[in-house]
Structure 1
C-alpha cells in the first residue's frame, strides 16, 4: 500500500506544483485585469467566461471519464490510442461547430448573454480559444494517462504564463478592453499548439470508429447532465445576479469566485492524479483501504486550507486588488471556497460509481442539486444579494456531495470513518465562521483568530491521531 500511496502522492505533488503556478498566475492577473477595466466591464468578461465554461462541458461530453476507464482496461490495451483519436476528433468537430455558430449568431448572443449589443466580437474570440484548448487538452490528457507528468506540467504552466504576459502587453499597448485578454489567450494557445505539433500526427483521424464511439458515449453520456448541472450551480447565478443586481455586482462576484479558487491550489493536483491512479489500483486486494485513507487525508487537508483562506484572504485581497471598487468582494471568498472544495471532494468519494460503471446517479444527484441551486438563487439573491448567490452554490454542492457519497457506498463500500468526518466538518465550519466574524464583521483584535485556530487544530488533529492509532492497531491485529 505504501508504494501505491507514494506513487499517487508523487504525481499529486507535481500536479499540485503545476497548479500552484498556474493559479498564482491567474491571481496575479486578476488585479491587473481589474486595474484596466471596471467592475461592469469585468462583469461582461465573467458572463462570457461562464458561457464558455458551459460549452467546455458540452465539448467534452463525458469523454474524459470514459477515456480514463477504457484506457486502463486490459482488454482494450492494444486499441487505447484509437480511443484517444476518436475523442480528439469528437471534441474538435464540436468546438469547430461552435466557432461557426458564434459568427452566425454573434449579435443575438451578445444581447442574450450580456443584455447589451456590441459584444459579439468578444464572444467569437472566446469560442476560438475553446477550439484551440480542446485540441491541447486531449494531448495533455494522453500524457497524464501515460504518467508523463512533466509533459503535462511544462506546457500547462508555459501556456498560462504566456496568457498573462500577452494579455498584459495587449492591454497596455493596444487598448484597455476585454478583447485584449482573449487575444492573449489565442496567441498563447497557438504557441503551445506549434510546440505539440509533432504529436498531432499520432492523434489525428478523419473518421470515427463506430464501435469505439458507442462505448465512449454510453459510458460518458450519462455524465453530461451532471456537467450541465455543474454549470447551473457554479455559473448560472451570474445571469441571476446580472438580472437582479446588474453588471457591477456581477463583476464583484466574479472577482470573488476567482479568488475562491485558491482552494484548488490544494485540490487540483490531486484531482488530476486521482482518476488514473484510482482506476489503476481498483483490482488490488487492498484498494478499499487505500481509498479510505485518501478520503480522510484529503478532507483534513481541505479543511486546513479553508481555515487558511478565511484567515489570510482579506489581507491578500486588499493588498493585490489596487482598484478599490472590487474590495467589497473579499467577504464572500471563504464561503465560495467551501463550495469549491465540496465540488472537488465528490470526485474522490464517488470512486465506487466509476469503478462499477454506474455513473448515472451522479447526473441524477447533480440534477437535483442544480434545481436546488436555481430555486435558492431566485429566493436568496433578492433577499441577501451576493451572499444569497454564495449560499446557493455551497448548499447545492453540499447536497450533491452527501447524496453521491451515500450512493457510492451502497455500490462499492469503502470503510471510511463517516462519523468522524462529519465531526471534523462541523468543527471546521465553526472555526471558519469564527475567524471570518473576527476579521470581517467586528472590531475585535485580529489576534483573537488564534482561538478558533486552536479549537480547529485540537478537534481535527485529535480525530486524525485517533484514526492513526486505530490504523496501527488494525495493522498489528492482521499480522
Structure 2
C-alpha cells in the first residue's frame, strides 16, 4: 500500500507544488468573479458526472481486482464502456436541449468539462483495476503538466479569464485519458457481443448505491457555490474557492493514499485481516490530525505569500474548512472499508443526510454570516458524516475512540486562538504544533525508514 501510494503521489506531487506556486499569478491575472465562475463550472461537472457514468467506473475497478482471466476482464471493461457511452449520449442530448431553451451562457463550458471528466474517470479506473499503477500515475502527471502549461498560455498569452481554466482542464484530461487507453490497449478488451446481463446487474448493484453518495458530496460542494453565487455573487464565491485550495491540499495528498487504500482494503476484506486494518486506521488518524493542526496554525503566515491581496479576506474561513476536510477525509476512509466489503448502501444514505444538513444551514445562515455560512455548513455536515459512519462501521472494525474527543478539544482551542489574531501567540502555537506533529508521527516515521533501509540492503545483497 505504501509503495502504491508513493507511485501515485509521484505523478501529481511535483505538479501540485508548481500549480500552487503559480497561485499568485492566477489570483493576480484572474478576477474574483472569473475565479468564482470557473469554480462553479467544475463543481457542477463533479455533480453531473455520476449521472453520466452511474459510477460504473468504480464497479469496473472493484470487479477487475477479482477478475480471474482476460475473458472476465473483457466482459467487465466492455459492459462498463457500453453503458457509460449510451447513458452519456442520452443525458447530453437532454442537457443540450435544456441549455438551448434556457440560453444559459455557461452551459457549453459545463458540458465540455463533464465529457472530459467522464473520459478521465474511466481511464483512471481502468488503469487501477488492471493494477497498472505506474500508468495511472503517469497519466495524472500528464494531466497536471498540460493543465499548468495551457493555463499559462491561455491566461498570460490570450487573457481568456475563467474560460482558460476550463479549457485547460478539458484538453489536459482528454489527453491523459487517451494515454491510458493507448497504454492499456483498450481495443483489445472492447467486445460488443454476448452481453452478460447477470454481470451487468452485479456491477450496477455495486455502483448505483455509490451514486447517491457521490452526488451528495457534489451537493455539499455545489450547494455552497450555488448559495454564494446566487445570494452574494461570483466574487464572494471566488474568495471561497481560493480559500478552499489550502485545506484541500490535505485532501489532495490524502487522496493519493485513499486510491491505494481501496485496493488494499479490498484484499484485507478478502483475507479477513481486521487487525492490520485497525493499525492502518490509527496511523491515518494521527497523520491527518497533524497536518490539520499545522494548516490551522500556519495559514496566517502562508496565505499572503501565495494569494493576491484582493483575495486575502478568504483566509478567515480556512481553519473551519481545514477541520471540515479532516472529518470528510476520515469519513471517506471509512467509506473505503464499506466498499471493500461491497456494502455500499450505507454510503449513499449517510452522504445524502449530510448534504441536506449542509444545504439547510447554508440557506439559513448565508444572509447573516456571509462566506462563513458556507464554511460552517460544510464543517457540521462533515462532522456528522464522520461520526455516523464511525458508528455504522463497528460491525467490521472499531473506528471511534477517546482520541476523537481530544481532536475536537484541540480544534476548538486552535480555532479560537486563530481568531484572536495575536501574531506572537500564533507564532508560538505554530511552533508547538510542529513539535506535536513530529512526536505523534515519530514512531511511524522510524518504522518506515528502517523497513526501507532493510529492503534496500536486501536488494543490494
Same fold, TM-score > 0.5, yes or no = yes
Is 1:253 paired with 2:240? yes
SS of structure 2 residue aligned to 1:358: coil
C-alpha distance in 2 between matches for 1:100 and 1:66: 25
Comparing 260-269 with 297-306, greater Cα deviation is found at 260-269
Question: What residue number does 1:142 align with?
Answer: 126
Is 1:395 paired with 2:388? no
C-alpha distance in 1 between matches for 2:31 and 2:434: 40
From 187, 190, 198, the equivalent of 2:171 is 187
Question: What residue number does 2:457 align with?
Answer: none
From 278, 299, 315, the equivalent of 2:301 is 315
The superposition leaves residues 352-374 of structure 1 with CA deviations (integer Å, 9 ceiling, x where unpaired) of: 53344332122111121112111
Cα pair 1:88 1:203 within 8 Å, conserved: no
Q: Classify 1:299/1:377 alpha carbon distance in 2 versus 1 (closer, same or farther; 3 Å).
A: same
Cα pair 1:43 1:251 within 8 Å, conserved: yes
Cα pair 1:42 1:251 within 8 Å, conserved: yes
Question: What residue number does 2:326 align with?
Answer: 341
From 275, 279, 284, the equivalent of 1:293 is 279
C-alpha distance in 2 between matches for 1:22 and 1:32: 15
What does 1:63-462 correspond to in 2, within 5 Å? 63-73=56-66, 78-106=71-99, 111=104, 119-120=105-106, 123-198=107-182, 199-206=185-192, 209-285=196-272, 287-322=273-308, 324-410=309-395, 412=396, 414-416=397-399, 418-430=400-412, 432-433=414-415, 436-437=418-419, 441-450=421-430, 453=433, 456=436
Q: Classify 1:87/1:338 alpha carbon distance in 2 versus 1 (closer, same or farther; 3 Å).
A: farther
The superposition leaves residues 435-463 of structure 1 with CA deviations (integer Å, 9 ceiling, x where unpaired) of: 5236xx2354543225752895599579x
RMSD: 2.9
Compute the displacement of 1:277 (Å). Answer: 1.0
Compute the displacement of 1:399 (Å). Answer: 0.6
C-alpha distance in 2 between matches for 1:374 and 1:366: 12
C-alpha distance in 1 between matches for 2:438 and 2:402: 14
Cα pair 1:226 1:364 within 8 Å, conserved: yes
Cα pair 2:294 2:434 within 8 Å, conserved: no
C-alpha distance in 2 between matches for 1:239 and 1:146: 38
C-alpha distance in 2 between matches for 1:193 and 1:297: 33
C-alpha distance in 2 between matches for 1:258 and 1:458: 24
Cα pair 2:67 2:73 within 8 Å, conserved: no
C-alpha distance in 1 between matches for 2:375 and 2:166: 27
SS of structure 2 residue aligned to 1:453: helix
Cα pair 1:140 1:151 within 8 Å, conserved: no
Is 1:18 paired with 2:4? no
Structure 1's unaligned 5+ residue stretches are 1-7, 112-118, 469-479
Compute the displacement of 1:97 (Å). Answer: 4.0
Cα pair 1:237 1:389 within 8 Å, conserved: yes
What is the count of residue pairs matched by the alignment?
Answer: 442
The superposition leaves residues 244-263 of structure 1 with CA deviations (integer Å, 9 ceiling, x where unpaired) of: 21221111111112222110
Structure 2's unaligned 5+ residue stretches are 448-461
Compute the displacement of 1:92 (Å). Answer: 3.2
TM (norm. structure 1) is 0.83
The superposition leaves residues 347-398 of structure 1 with CA deviations (integer Å, 9 ceiling, x where unpaired) of: 3224553344332122111121112111111122222111121011111011
C-alpha distance in 1 between matches for 2:366 and 2:324: 17
C-alpha distance in 2 between matches for 1:144 and 1:162: 21
